Chain A
Amino acid sequence: MKQTALNFLYKYGALLVILFVLLYFSYAVPYFFTYDNLTDILRSISIVAIVAIGVTFSLIVDGFDLSVGSTVSLTTVLTASLMVWYEQPLAIVIFAALLAGAMIGLLNAFLIVKVGIPDLLATLSMLYVIGGVQKTYTQGYSVYNKMPLPDGTTAPGVLSPSFLWLGQGKLFGVPVPVLILILLVVGVHLLLKYTRFGRMLHMIGSNQEAARLSGIPIYSMRTWAYVFSGLFAALGGILFAARVGSGQMDAGAPLLMESVAAVFVGYSVLGAGKPNVIGTFFGAVLIGILLNGLTMLNLPYYAFDIVKGLVLILALAVTYLHVRRKKRT
């Protein structure tokens, strides 16, 4: 009896919490449950969610990537500066940012897979290196249209309208970043669940030695996981620049924590018990709803970290308590 109740909670708990929070805010905040506000929430979480998809990849192979936040920061200023300082066309800008993300992923993978540094420590170091590169590159300034340059002139370029559309525009009444997010969630879900590639990633995460002895190329597969992590962070960075219309310093710093929280909330969505994209999406939704609702309830922004931290603790507690319970029975 107790068992079934616990299992039910584990399976549907996360979704029930989301539902409950939705209902509560709809009741407490009059403007909350409107189409505009709900799309607003989705728009606000789209970047975190995309970064979190990347984190999902690294967690699936039983790794971890702490450097995603800095990667977002770097690619944000990179995108903005390529347009504002160097007047590059959109295609090149996006390509360059994605390339930067992929290179960071490769470097992470090199440190972890080839050199053998534990994932947390390797990506922690990379977090600082990338953050430093970002600051050095912009000399500590944010990048915006017509900004003054060190030599006294103004920057020649601007963030083009078609670029800003990526972050601010709408298609069929749905914000573009939300559409991108949904496409990615569906695509990655199919990739992870129904392809050989995805299966191999999962098997590595489940038992690396057994995977190796089954002929899975574990080194290259783990490398792919980190490359995906970097790519998704870069995409997050591009969308960030497009959304705010400038390249803000350290834009990605808060995203690390939020995306990790989203992934761990995702562990318990539908009782998956392991990283999964659909869960990650709902995890990001939960965080988005909470932050949005609390803003409307006038909770001061500096208290938000407490809420985010608590959500992460709760998600981790559910996940690990479940692991322990499973071990005992």
Chain B
Amino acid sequence: MALLEVRNLSKTFAGSPGVIDVNLSIQSGEIHALIGANGAGKSTLMKLLSGAYQGDQGEIYLNGQRVVIENPVHGKELGIHCVYQEVDTALVPSLTVGENLFLDCLPLIINWKTLFREAEEVLQKLNFPLDPKRKIDSLTLVEKQMVLLAKAFMQNAKIMIFDEPTAPLSGPETKILLQQICNLKEKGVGIIFISHRLQEVFALCDTLSVLRNGQLVLNRSVSATSPEVVVEAMFGEKRADGFVKKTASVGDPLLQANHLSDGGRVKDVTFQLRKGEILGIAGLVGAGKTELARLLFAASPRQQGDILWEGNPMYFSSPKQAIEAGFALVPEERRGEGLFVNESIRANLTLPILKTIAPWGWIRRQKEREHGQKIVDALSIKASHLEFPVERLSGGNQQKVVIGKWVGSDTKVLLLDEPTKGIDVQAKKELFYLLEELVAQGISIVYFTSEMDELAAISDTIYILYKGHITKKLGKEEMDPQTILYYASGGTNQDETDSA
């Protein structure tokens, strides 16, 4: 008997199909991948299973018994746990790992010794290398995810659903997380794993389901299919192969950054950016990429160093001045720093160009709509209309809005901080073609990411950022994902030591 079975489950929203007539079954100890393009309905399905949404139609069975999941708390009682991407909101940062594990069931009088001992036991059972006495705010992202995993396991999770857990992680961290998920699987937990990275899906999962426009179009065991088949199912047609970069001619030096420091994570960073160049900044999570991007954009104060624009020193001290100088930043934290979730797609997309569509202060609605529509089409943002509130877009489509906002503005240097977070393979390819188009227009791009294969595919030059320092510069010929990762994880330069 299946651990979880879904029959004819449907949930539609005004204007868009969420999930239509889905049948699915998951066994205990199975890792089941849920795959689909942005807006296909993955998160919706997960919310239906957790009780956050109520289906319009269909039934859910747990161990053969029909259940109606009223809300997420009820879902948890039934043993269905979700790990959302925003792990921080689910933990208390000022408390220890142990306390967080027992947070929902703390007794009136706490016996610290037993609490930590029991926490230790749980962590050991799962093979999680975590000290229960550490504070949450000292943990890395993947460690926080582990705490949530352990907590769910403790509360007798039978089904665990992960919505793009690996999107914010770098390669090595992803490995750790996948290992922990395997540990859960061995304990008999049924797992639903949502991801846009087919590689990890094929490495980790037993079975997979593909959703397209809310409908289940493929349901197979992983060994009986291939990435090509899956991609074809996702989009309903064969897709041309991966992205191949045109050999573009890079122009003259544009920007020279000298000895930049922010007094924190960024230490003495020096690099040069040329006109029409795509410059990759590679670094693991925590290497200081976000901090460096913010520093260049004057979103956080510069403590030392200077920036020269075509040889002339630039003075700016706020994002507003940076934008006027031609910079634009796509921040990593899309909800907190990039999006206006309560506003429409239109208002989000046209904010940077308000001056041009409102020359005398009066916004020309027609022009505004045209501009918005152009970007929606260019990035194929999936929404029924321009006035759709960004809040209700799927995660990947929200990310496209954050990027699209700067398309068509007077940007000369585009800073992208993990821009592909949460977008599907096709959208990623489209983004790369868009970037190529932008550099062809003479725009320069600084691309900050821990996705080494992306960097290898798109960059003209790569700088490695390791613990806040630039440790290495890689030219076109040295760019393969392994090499980049090697240096980004702190590997040192053998050639140089040899020759020295």
Interface residues in chain A, defined as those with a beta carbon under 8 Å from any beta carbon in chain B: 194-197, 199-200, 202-203, 206-207, 209-217, 273-274, 328-329
The residues of B that contact A217 with a CB separation of less than 8 Å are 320
**Which single residue of chain A is at the shortest CB-CB distance from B342?**
A206
Residues A196 and B355 in contact in the complex (CB < 8 Å), given A207-B341, A213-B329: yes
**Which single residue of chain A is at the shortest CB-CB distance from B338?**
A210
Docked pose: A217 CA to B52 CA in angstroms: 38
State the Cβ distance, A328 to closest chain B Cβ, in Å: 7
Interface residues in chain B, defined as those with a beta carbon under 8 Å from any beta carbon in chain A: 52-53, 71, 297, 299, 318-320, 322-324, 329, 331, 336-343, 347, 351-352, 354-355, 358, 361-363, 365, 405
- A196 x B354 contact (CB < 8 A): yes
Docked pose: A169 CA to B71 CA in angstroms: 59
**Which single residue of chain A is at the shortest CB-CB distance from B391?**
A326
**Which single residue of chain B is at the shortest CB-CB distance from A273?**
B342
The residues of A that contact B52 with a CB separation of less than 8 Å are 328-329
The residues of B that contact A273 with a CB separation of less than 8 Å are 342
Q: List 29 A-B contacts (CB under 8 A).
A: A195-B361, A196-B361, A197-B361, A199-B347, A199-B351, A199-B354, A203-B347, A203-B351, A207-B336, A207-B339, A207-B341, A210-B336, A211-B340, A212-B299, A212-B318, A213-B299, A213-B337, A213-B338, A214-B319, A214-B351, A214-B352, A215-B320, A215-B323, A216-B351, A217-B320, A273-B342, A328-B71, A329-B52, A329-B53
State the Cβ distance, B380 to closest chain A Cβ, in Å: 23
- A212 x B319 contact (CB < 8 A): yes
- B319 x A206 contact (CB < 8 A): no
Docked pose: A315 CA to B323 CA in angstroms: 40
Question: Which of A206, A209, A215 makes the CB contact (< 8 A) with B352?
Answer: A215
Docked pose: A203 CA to B342 CA in angstroms: 9
Question: Which of A195, A203, A328 makes the CB contact (< 8 A) with B343?
Answer: A203
Docked pose: A329 CA to B297 CA in angstroms: 36
B297, B319, B338, B365, most chain A CB atoms within 10 A: B319
- B362 x A206 contact (CB < 8 A): no
The residues of B that contact A196 with a CB separation of less than 8 Å are 354-355, 358, 361-363
The residues of A that contact B323 with a CB separation of less than 8 Å are 214-215
The residues of A that contact B339 with a CB separation of less than 8 Å are 207, 210
State the Cβ distance, B156 to closest chain A Cβ, in Å: 24
Docked pose: A202 CA to B346 CA in angstroms: 14
Docked pose: A209 CA to B53 CA in angstroms: 30
Docked pose: A203 CA to B331 CA in angstroms: 17
- B341 x A206 contact (CB < 8 A): yes
Question: Which of B53, B319, B342 makes the CB contact (< 8 A) with A215?
Answer: B319
Residues A209 and B337 in contact in the complex (CB < 8 Å), given A202-B343, A214-B351, A215-B320: yes
Docked pose: A79 CA to B352 CA in angstroms: 43
State the Cβ distance, A106 to closest chain B Cβ, in Å: 21
Extra contacts besides A196-B358, A215-B324, A215-B352 (4): CB < 8 Å: A195-B361, A212-B318, A213-B299, A328-B52
The 5 A-B residue pairs with the shortest CB-CB distance, nearest first, are A215-B323, A206-B340, A196-B358, A215-B320, A196-B354
- B354 x A200 contact (CB < 8 A): yes
Docked pose: A277 CA to B336 CA in angstroms: 27
- A214 x B405 contact (CB < 8 A): yes
A207, A212, A213, A328, most chain B CB atoms within 10 A: A213
The residues of A that contact B362 with a CB separation of less than 8 Å are 194-196
- A195 x B363 contact (CB < 8 A): yes
- A209 x B354 contact (CB < 8 A): no
The residues of A that contact B322 with a CB separation of less than 8 Å are 215
The residues of A that contact B341 with a CB separation of less than 8 Å are 206-207
The residues of A that contact B324 with a CB separation of less than 8 Å are 215
State the Cβ distance, A289 to closest chain B Cβ, in Å: 30
The residues of A that contact B320 with a CB separation of less than 8 Å are 212, 215-217
Docked pose: A328 CA to B355 CA in angstroms: 37
State the Cβ distance, A96 to closest chain B Cβ, in Å: 28
Docked pose: A274 CA to B347 CA in angstroms: 15
The residues of B that contact A206 with a CB separation of less than 8 Å are 340-343
The residues of A that contact B405 with a CB separation of less than 8 Å are 214
State the Cβ distance, B414 to closest chain A Cβ, in Å: 13
Docked pose: A206 CA to B389 CA in angstroms: 12
Question: Which of A199, A210, A215, A216 makes the CB contact (< 8 A) with B337?
Answer: A210
B52, B299, B342, most chain A CB atoms within 10 A: B342
Docked pose: A273 CA to B338 CA in angstroms: 22
- A207 x B340 contact (CB < 8 A): yes
**Which single residue of chain A is at the shortest CB-CB distance from B350?**
A199
Question: Which of A195, A197, A210, A329 makes the CB contact (< 8 A) with B340?
Answer: A210
Docked pose: A206 CA to B337 CA in angstroms: 11
State the Cβ distance, A303 to closest chain B Cβ, in Å: 38
The residues of B that contact A199 with a CB separation of less than 8 Å are 347, 351, 354, 358, 363
- A203 x B336 contact (CB < 8 A): no
**Which single residue of chain A is at the shortest CB-CB distance from B319?**
A213
Docked pose: A274 CA to B299 CA in angstroms: 28
Docked pose: A77 CA to B362 CA in angstroms: 38
Question: Which of B337, B347, B352, B358 makes the CB contact (< 8 A) with A195?
Answer: B358
Docked pose: A259 CA to B15 CA in angstroms: 38
Docked pose: A200 CA to B354 CA in angstroms: 9
**Which single residue of chain A is at the shortest CB-CB distance from B359?**
A196
State the Cβ distance, B486 to closest chain A Cβ, in Å: 33
**Which single residue of chain A is at the shortest CB-CB distance from B330?**
A213
State the Cβ distance, A190 to closest chain B Cβ, in Å: 9
The residues of A that contact B71 with a CB separation of less than 8 Å are 328
The residues of B that contact A216 with a CB separation of less than 8 Å are 320, 351
Docked pose: A206 CA to B344 CA in angstroms: 11
Docked pose: A216 CA to B321 CA in angstroms: 10
Docked pose: A25 CA to B361 CA in angstroms: 44
**Which single residue of chain A is at the shortest CB-CB distance from B355?**
A196
A200, A206, A211, A273, most chain B CB atoms within 10 A: A206
Docked pose: A213 CA to B323 CA in angstroms: 9
A210, A211, A216, most chain B CB atoms within 10 A: A210
